[in-house]
Amino acid sequence: MSETTNGKSPARALRYTQITDSAYANNAINHETDTLVYALGGLGEIGKNMYCFEHDDEIIIVDCGVMFPEDELLGVDYVIPDYTYLVKNQSKIKALIITHGHEDHIGGIPFFLQSIRLKEIYAPRFAKALIEKKLEEHRLSRSCKIIEINSDSRVRTKYFNVGFFDTVHSIPDSLGVLINTPNGRIVETGDFKFDLTPVGTNSDYQKMAYIGQVGVTLLMSDSTNSSVPGSSISEKAVAKAIMMQMKKTPGRLLVSTFASNVLRLNQILEAAVACDRKVAVFGRSMENVCEIGRKMGVIKIPESSFISGNELNTLPANRICIVCTGSQGEPMAALSRIAKGTHRFIKIIPGDTVLFSSNPIPGNGVSVGGVINLLTRVGANVITNSPLTSFHTTGHASVEEQKLMLNLIKPKYFMPNHGEYKMLVQHSATAQETGVPEDRCFICSNGDIIVLRNEECFLANERVQTDAIYVDGNDASGLSTSVIKDRKILAENGLVAVIVTIDSRYNKILCRPSIVSRGFVFIKDNQTLLKEAELVVYEALKKKMMQRTTFGELKNCIRSSLEPFLFKKTNRNPIVIPVILNQKAAIAEIQSKTKNSRTRN
């Protein structure tokens, strides 16, 4: 055994209704004796999981993830939690604990470490390797020590005693977390499913049952598949289906799956080797996971079974298996480039078979459909997952598996997490079916505080500051909301620049303004509109410059006169950028006066 020490939304109104009859409903937090539980991300959304547990002068954090942006977040690479509260209280942070190595649980670590000094991160074996690779890419390798943990490990602080138990997920070394606090026990499941014939380590049913027997005050459980009835199929059933397809495919087989699903990747590689096929891996994230998987012993395929892109043409088609990223239709992923014919090494040959060992994530269906159409058009035989084929299984618990977790842990109170609002509500209903009273189920939002006091729970009236931070590139400071709004306006309505030349000495416009448009209207067909717009601005400026004014006032005058005119004519609101050019002589005079003033001072 190792030992290492803003107003109420409808959703919030519902939560207040839930605790109306509670004896604790009006109680204020006692920050010295109460234990606080709150999420900075992961509630009401899929991604950026970050759950905090606070008692007096100590905070421990479970997971530090990112969320990938929706299409309307133009130019945004990642969405991360707002770390402001933790920055203000970083002296309290005693541990960051990672449950497993998926991006929505570890992707925020480089940005977190840019804001907060942290001595140690506790992570299971495979997640540790992924985090080390990530920190190396961000040049943060020396910023924090990463300590490997397993189901026998302990993390102890003054107030917290943290233990772990094995769970099954779509990545190796996934852990659930047991947190012993002065006010009760908390279980945070991490992402999990129950698979009776798993690939790799099985769930530790005995330890979960023992934890439930000892007593759990609050259970926080993965809600991703709370609307999916029944139980998920086993990963071994997927392995059999892939093997059968590998055997009967006459030519090249291209398989696309989630890069993070290293157990699936290993099954695909093993099937290829068993069918005497050489393997080529494409896609940066897939190559990284494959490299780490081989180092960790999760992928046991010999080096001789791999080939490079340059060697693809040296083997017959029936001896080649290509594994690549792009199962979600990402435009720059390997499979999308193959479908478009722009990949450096691979061109689709009629007779190629493309297998999608995945399901489209909600919202990606159109992108995936587009890639499938392109592949079919150039002659590929495309096979997707279905209930009849079983080429994919989820890594998250369906309803019956969620019920099993609830019956094993037997929580006194329940807080569904890791899911959109509808998922949280459905998971709460499932908990009530297993015997948890409705008034002991907390459907929370990011920033809400659950208070543990003497093994009882209630929802506090206070909240922790939280928001979504939009990251462009590697800047953890994030983009302001105004930047996102401007990008949306540019995308939908375009830009109009107004160029005005003046002589500030005489408060005079030297010529009629010139208007340049990009993405607003087609200039050749709208010359009359732009000439009218120039005249509107010219008349407004002449009137404004009949008295002394400033450059700022002139810019406001341009916007206030042009924006209503353009909206009236086109029913569109482009971004208006005023550009004021001052005559050279006037600029020289201003500079001379400034210089003389400084000399006198």
pLDDT digits (tens, 9 = 90+) for 412-440: 999 999 999 999 999 999 999 999 999 99
CATH code, domain carrying 350: 3.40.50.10710
User: How many other C-beta atoms lie within 10 A of the C-beta of residue 447?
Assistant: 21
Q: Is 417 in the same domain as 490?
A: no
On whether both 332 and 420 belong to a single domain, the answer is no
Closest CA to 580 of 548, 547, 557: 557
1 is a domain residue: no
How many angstroms separate the CA atoms of 212 and 431, rounded? 15
Domain, as residue range, for 335: 235-383
Distance CA(61)–CA(591), nearest Å, equals 56
Rg value, the chain, Cα? 30
Does residue 404 share a domain with residue 311?
A: no
Give the Cα-Cα-Cα angle 28, 32, 38 (nearest 5 degrees).
65
Look at residue 597 and tell me whether its pLDDT is greater than 70. Answer: no
Asked if the model's pLDDT at residue 14 lies above 50, the reply is: no
Contact between 253 and 320 under an 8 Å Cβ cutoff? The reply is: yes
What's the pLDDT score for residue 393?
92
The CATH number of the domain holding residue 124 is 3.60.15.10
* 533 and 406 within one domain: no
Query: Do 245 and 222 fall into the same domain?
Result: no
Over residues 25-59, the pLDDT tens digits come to 456 889 999 999 999 999 999 999 999 999 999 99
Any idea which residue has 């408060």 for tokens? Answer: 507
Same domain, 239 and 264: yes
| pLDDT > 50? residue 302 | yes
As given in the structure block, the two tokens for residue 415 are 């807080």
Q: How many domains does the chain have?
A: 3
pLDDT confidence band for 518 (50 / 70 / 90): confident
The reply to whether 63 and 87 lie within a common domain is: yes
Least confident of 104-118, 180-194, 463-477, 495-509: 463-477
Q: What percent of the chain has pLDDT over 90?
A: 64
Q: Please tell me which residue in 55, 169, 392, 396 is annotated as part of the active site.
A: 396
- Rounded distance, CA 338 to CA 15, Å? 49
Which string of DSSP letters, residue by residue, matches 366-426? HHHHHHHHHHHHTT-EEE---TTT-----SS--HHHHHHHHHHH-EEEEEEESB-HHHHHH
- Whether residue 35 contacts residue 55, with contact meaning beta carbons closer than 8 Å, is answered with yes
SS3 39: strand
- How far apart (Å, rounded) are the C-alpha atoms in residues 68 and 395? 18
What per-residue confidence (pLDDT) applies to 412?
97
Q: Flag whether 374 is in a domain.
A: yes
User: Is 396 known to be catalytic?
Assistant: yes
Q: Which of 222, 392, 427, 448 is catalytic?
A: 222
Same domain, residue pair 547 and 432 = no
Verify that 213 and 239 share a domain, yes or no: no
With respect to residue 347, please indicate whether it lies within any of the assigned structural domains.
yes
Taking residue 17's Cβ as centre, other Cβ atoms within 10 Å add up to: 10
Q: Which residue has the higher pLDDT, 444 or 330?
A: 444
Same domain? For 208 and 243 the reply is: no
CB 286 within 8 A of CB 306: no
Name the token pair of 78.
């990642």
> Can you give the pLDDT at residue 431?
97
5 with 157: CB under 8 angstroms? yes
Residue 148 near residue 131, CB atoms below 8 Å: no
**Predicted pLDDT at 593:** 59
Q: Which of 34, 22, 21, 1 is nearest to 462 (CA)?
A: 34
Q: Of 339, 364, 383, which residue constitutes the final position of a domain?
A: 383
382: nearest Cα among 190, 57, 391: 391
Distance CA(250)–CA(216), nearest Å, equals 55
Q: Do residues 187 and 194 make contact, with C-beta atoms less than 8 angstroms apart?
A: no
More confident of the two residues 128 and 518: 128
Q: What angle do CA 142, 83, 442 make, to 5 degrees?
A: 125
Tell me the percentage of the chain whose pLDDT exceeds 70.
89
Residue 398 sits in the same domain as residue 434: yes
Q: What is the pLDDT of residue 475?
A: 64
Cα dist from 417 to 186, 288, 303, 313, whole Å: 13, 29, 41, 49
Q: What is the DSSP letter of 42?
A: S
- In this predicted model, which residue has the larger pLDDT, 370 or 551? 370
The residue from 470, 494, 525 where one domain ends is: 470
- Is residue 325 domain-resident? yes
H/E stretch holding 292:
helix 284-296
Residues 218 and 207: their CA atoms lie apart, in Å, by 17
**What 3-state class would DSSP assign to 47?**
coil
| pLDDT for the residue numbered 20 | 41
Residues 481 and 560 sit within 8 Å (Cβ to Cβ): no
Residue pLDDT, tens place only, 250-283: 999 999 999 989 999 999 999 999 999 999 999 9
Helices (H), 462-583: 481-493, 527-544, 551-570
pLDDT given for residue 465 in this prediction: 86
Give the Cα separation of 462 and 448 in Å (integer). Answer: 7
Tokens encoding 8: 């109420």
The values of phi and psi at residue 404, to 5°, are -65, -45
Tokens, residue 249: 């495919």
Q: Is 182 within the bounds of a domain?
A: yes
Asked which of 300-314, 474-488, 530-544 is least confident by mean pLDDT, the reply is: 474-488
Domain annotation covers residue 97: yes
The reply to whether 401 and 537 lie within a common domain is no
Position 516 scores a pLDDT of 87
Of 191, 197, 152, 194, the closest CA to residue 174 belongs to 191
Q: What tokens were used for 101?
A: 């190595």
CA 216/CA 428 separation, integer angstroms: 17
Q: Is 120 within 8 Å of 144 (Cβ atoms)?
A: yes
Average pLDDT over residues 346-360: 93
- Domain boundary (348, 383, 418) is at 383
Distance of CA 339 to the CA centre of its chain: 26
Residue 477 reports pLDDT greater than 70: no
Q: Is 160 contained in some domain?
A: yes
- Reported as a single tens digit per residue, the pLDDT across 555-573 is 999 999 999 999 888 888 8
- Residue 333 forms part of a structural domain: yes
Q: How far apart are CA 445 and CA 429, in angstroms?
A: 17
Rounded mean pLDDT of the chain? 88
Angle, helix 235-248 to helix 262-274, in steps of 10 degrees: 30
Burial (0-12, 13-18, 19+ Cβ within 10 Å), 56 = middle
pLDDT for position 573: 86
Query: Which pLDDT belongs to residue 591?
Result: 64
CB–CB of 64/50 below 8 Å? yes
Question: Looking at residue 593, which CATH number applies to its domain?
Answer: 3.10.20.580
67-104 pLDDT per residue, tens? 887 766 666 788 899 999 999 999 999 999 999 999 99
DSSP, collapsed to helix, strand or coil, labels residue 143 as coil
Packed helices 399-409 and 421-433: angle between N→C axes, nearest 10 degrees: 60
State yes or no: is 222 an active-site residue: yes
Distance CA 516, CA 538 (A): 15
d(CA 366, CA 374): 12
- Give DSSP secondary structure letters for 244-268: HHHHH--S-EEEE--TT-HHHHHHH
Q: What pLDDT, on a 0 to 100 scale, did the predictor assign at position 12?
A: 44
User: Tokens 């602080």 map to which residue?
Assistant: 157
